[in-house]
A and B are shown apart, each in its own frame.
Chain A
Amino acid sequence: MSNPQTHRGFTAAMSVSETVEETLTTVEKPFGHALIAVARQNPNIVGLTADLGKYTDIDIFGQEFPNRYFQMGMAEQNLIGVAAGLSRVGYIPFATTYCVFATRRAYDFIAVDIALGRANVKIIAGLPGLTTGYGATHQGIDDLALMRAIPNMVVIDPCDATEIQQTVPAIAEYRGPVYLRILRGQVKQVLDPKTYRFELGKAKLLRQGRDLTLISTGLMTQRALQAADMLKQDGIEAIVLHVPTLKPLDQDAIIQVAEATRTVLTLENHSVLGGLGSAVADTLCMAGLSVTMAKIGIPDQFVECGSIPYLTDKYGLSIRHIVQTAKEILSWRK
């Protein structure tokens, strides 16, 4: 964990992972390698990018299958349209760019060309939330909200390398449009590949507890687990429910863990508007469940350039904040 007072960070051009925990192993380009593995089995898988092949790890797919890899240049609307066209003639395109460019620049194309007719296109989006220090133009803070709002979309925010490796074959198998956030480069392994099993549309109970429920998605699940460890030292037992698939949402699992403690803290590497926290609030409210709830996520504002540890702490996504907020909402109940 970084200390904001003493941390002297810089916007790192190539730095992709936030505070790297020395104890965790990392996996190189988990998305790229997983895609190569499924493409060896399925000749209909093709890859596309919009001048970000090297930075979304699909470059190694292109080296392996040059005739199945289409460079579209820096033209995201065309990237999505071409992917739709390929899917309409029987291919399974995996199209990569960053979250911001896929969702903001090409939104209409995703909605009309892909989602409306359930085209079998997988949009693979890098730099989710605060995984880049490149500022507001590069940080995907609203992509989950935008993608959830489109009918027919499946929306996934995986936790780590293990989950990315398992998600790729699962979405290749699933017939329909998918938006998948990825972590790139050297990606941490948080979930044990021997025991963890990703299932499309299912939440995963990672930790049992009795006092408080943490519901998290994406890389925030690692922090949820670490925060739960710290809370335990203070005698607070937290449930951790990991929700990789934001749409369709595993509402039953969410209601169950919320009912167990009636104190809910959601965690996401995304704006607090329209993402996991909103989805959970919707679910609980519509189920008639009254709970004490707070949301951890990026506040409703644009974020500047900076080092990732600095931004993570400044905008309240650090473990320190999770622990603090958890204790706070528990105190509201008393």
Chain B
Amino acid sequence: MNPTNPNKLEVKQNPPPPELIHSLRLKARQIRRNVLLMAKGKGEDYVGQGLGAADILTVLYFHEMRFDPHRLDWPDRDRFLLSTGHYSIVLFATLTELGVFPPEELSSYGADGSRFEMSACETTPGVEITGGSLGHGLSQAVGMALGSRLSGRKFRVFNFLSDGELQEGATWEAAMAAAHYKLDHLIALVDINNMQADGKTSDVMTIEPVIDKWRAFGWHAQRIDGNSLEELLIAFQTARSIQNQPKVILCYTLMGKGVPLIEQKPKAHFIRVEPHEWDFALRQLEESKV
């Protein structure tokens, strides 16, 4: 999905080097593989969301953020706040790829006693906030960004949220505060997959025109194909160059991206994958061109 967007890039950026794109593409494929290994055999979970958001987390953790997987409590690290707790699958898949967790642990996702909970909790290493009650992330991101400025540490704060979370009033309370305090080291990433619990976001409660809403709240807003590594890289580069405003990158994504079998399934909050389909899905991912 590549949304037509008249205002896509306001600041001209150089195209990212092909070697960078290539290495990130390999990482994104590994993260997707981890997602499949986590979801394998579970039947109903967040495999669609995990695959769809994999490119966003790849660019963040392997390129954009100041982050050291061996020092999760480094005070100067950039913060990644997963407001959308049920996207834990892609966060754990990414942190495993970074060596925070051993790959053997992947299959424990969602199992009793596992620290890979279906909804991420801050008790698991690398998880900055508990995000399952939707609409809590942006306020905490504002608090962290205020703290970053007050302490002079100058770390950045990235808040991942979903299109469904734009229906929560608290998200907009926080958006207003971020603009009021000119938090230009705060970057929100909205995964717009046009899906939520009861169906399509556009049917449940219209959020469009999303870009106008953020701009009206005083944010610098960009709208991109959230499954394009190039567009993500350029959007982050643009965001870095903007001052005195918080920034949002509206990432239009495709649920199940990277695995045609799952991409083509009927879209739902829980995409159902049959037990015999997992090996095929993994093969499809391996065969996809990088």
| Chain A residues at the B interface, C-beta cutoff of 8 Å | 46, 67-68, 70, 72-73, 75, 77-78, 80-91, 93, 108-109, 112-113, 116-117
Contact = CB atoms under 8 A, between A and B. Distances in A.
Sort A-B residue pairs by CB-CB distance and give the 8 closest, nearest first: A85-B143, A81-B139, A89-B147, A78-B173, A75-B173, A85-B140, A82-B143, A77-B170
B146 A82 contact: yes
Of B128, B133, B140, B151, most buried by chain A (CB within 10 Å of CB) is: B140
B139 A77 contact: yes
Contacts of A84: 129, 139-140, 143
Majority secondary structure of chain A interface residues (helix, strand, loop or mixed): helix
14 contacts: A72-B177, A73-B180, A75-B177, A81-B140, A81-B174, A82-B140, A82-B174, A83-B143, A85-B145, A89-B144, A89-B151, A108-B133, A116-B121, A117-B123
A80 B146 contact: no
A80 B136 CA distance: 10
Given A68-B150, A116-B130, A117-B122, A85 B141 contact: yes
Contact of A78 (B123, B129, B130, B170): B170
B6 interface: no
B176 A82 contact: no
A83 B142 CA distance: 9
B75 interface: yes
Contacts of B266: none
B148 interface: yes
Nearest to A106: B170
A6 to B, nearest CB: 47
Nearest to B153: A89
Contacts of A88: 128-129, 140, 143-144, 147
A109 B143 contact: no
B17 interface: no
Given A73-B177, A109-B136, A109-B170, A78 B142 contact: yes
B169 interface: yes
A85 B144 contact: yes
B130 A80 contact: no
B174 A116 contact: no
A87 B146 CA distance: 11
Interface of B: 75, 79, 121-123, 128-130, 132-133, 135-136, 138-148, 150-151, 153, 169-170, 173-174, 176-177, 180-181
Contacts of A117: 122-123, 129-130
Given A73-B176, A75-B177, A112-B136, A90 B151 contact: yes
Contacts of A112: 130, 132-133, 136
Contacts of B170: 75, 77-78, 81, 109
B139 A90 contact: no
A125 to B, nearest CB: 18
Contacts of B128: 88
Contacts of A81: 136, 138-140, 142-143, 170, 174
Of A77, A78, A112, most buried by chain B (CB within 10 Å of CB) is: A78
A73 B142 CA distance: 14
Contacts of A113: 129-130, 136, 139-140
Nearest to A48: B143
Contact of A85 (B133, B142, B169, B176): B142
Given A89-B144, A90-B147, A77 B173 contact: yes
A80 B147 CA distance: 14
